[in-house]
Amino acid sequence: MTAVAPTILLVGTFDTKNDELDYVAKVIREQGGHVLSMDVSVLGDPGGPTDISKHEVAEAAGSDIETVIAGGGENCAMQIMARGAAALTVKLHHAGRINGVLVLGGTMGTDLALDVCNALPLGVPKYIVSTVSFSSMIPAERLPADIQMILWAGGLYGLNSVCRASLSQASGAVLGAARAVERPERSRPLIGMTSFGKSALRYMVPLKPALEERGFDVAVFHATGMGGRAFESLASQGAFACVFDFATQEVTNHLFGSSVTAGDSRLTAAGRAGTPQIVAPGCYDLVDLVGWQPVPEPLADLPSHAHNRLLTSVVLDTDRRRATARCHCEKLAQATGPTALILPLGGCGEWDRPGGDLHDAAGLAAFMNQMRACAPDCAKVHPIDAHINDPAFADAALAIFDGWLADGTVERPTP
């Protein structure tokens, strides 16, 4: 935890949002924090001096304000300013000058804010106050693993009692987070694992303690779109010593157009980073959809189940399962590091066991045959005569992992 008063980097367009940004700075200071202000405006000038001027931001992007203004419109200009703001934010963090960041904006400011927040590692408080928080226009792949967003209600133009409520909460939230955060420590190497709740997938119950006994920290990510995005974000940073990616349904979701997605990069980041990965296609046969929306027409002919008011699942037919298998293999082919692909021939989700509501022996066989047929050369395939929730599956995963420990593929933790 931060013992001294934290310093919050406050980013925004001080030409159009000067009053709002000054209000936030005032609240943070009144609560005992410090503020470092960064102006990312282009055309206008702030109402008063800022710690980091728009000229410095443009320079950090290898440009200048005159060039930015002449560069071809607001979109182009703000992308240049986003590059400069992100670069300066990284420098400030490395120099130990900031303990958190708060960015205000509409669509333009939010676009920039995502780049700024993505430049910072996990554990640095990142808050975006946006008029479009939680909007579907924000793609999953641009969200940092620990981003916090607050809806800027009534914040389009000028201060008022409604937006003060949002801004004051955001000010307290980022300052409190900077004071209280426990930054991830790396005394034990980290393993990333994907799963769903224990009613669907249960391998993490035996695997987590077994891996912890071997000296590893284990983070289990809920693979319902945002969880998979966080997993991919950390994998792309090389945060994991190894991954156990056993709930790949987000690949299926994205393939068939669901908005419950972790983005097109799902099942690629660990492989591209060269991180050893053990993969199994948990719940590959389902497409999760937003429960309160109609089932899209292309999937309307498939059986569906309302999981809750937020989530509806449709069950894939045989042809779509084959397409899902091919998509998995195309993504795994991008791996540059050791890749083990476990194929549990007895099923990949609790409800597809014989006698279960989703059991489809022919569909399962078609998927597994397609996986074996198109598995890339970089992946070693391990078919096992077991269900993904059987103890034999967890045993097989541990056996692969222990082999990698023995041969140095995965480095043993230092005692």
The predicted-structure confidence for 311-349, as pLDDT tens digits, reads as follows 999 999 999 999 999 999 999 999 999 999 999 999 999
Range in 138-142, 228-232, 270-274, 295-299 with the lowest mean pLDDT? 138-142
Question: Per-residue pLDDT tens for 37-75?
Answer: 999 999 899 989 999 999 999 999 999 999 998 877 888
Q: What is the pLDDT of residue 306?
A: 84
Kindly state the tokens that stand for 171: 């000010």
pLDDT over 80 (residue 378): yes
Cα dist from 402 to 180, 340, 405, whole Å: 37, 13, 5
Beta sheet of 7-12, edge-to-edge order? 34-39, 7-12, 100-105, 126-130, 147-151
Q: Which residue has the higher pLDDT, 154 or 402?
A: 402
Beta bridge partners of 176: none
Q: What is the pLDDT of residue 3?
A: 62
- What the chain holds in terms of domains, given with CATH numbers, is 7-180 (3.40.50.12020), 190-407 (3.40.50.12030)
Beta sheet of 286-290, edge-to-edge order? 286-290, 311-315, 304-306
Instruction: Give the percent of the chain with pLDDT over 90.
Output: 84
Whole-model pTM: value is 0.86
Range in 23-27, 32-36, 113-117, 295-299 with the lowest mean pLDDT? 295-299
Q: What is the pLDDT of residue 139?
A: 85
pLDDT over 60 (residue 1): no
Average of pLDDT values for 297-316?
Answer: 91
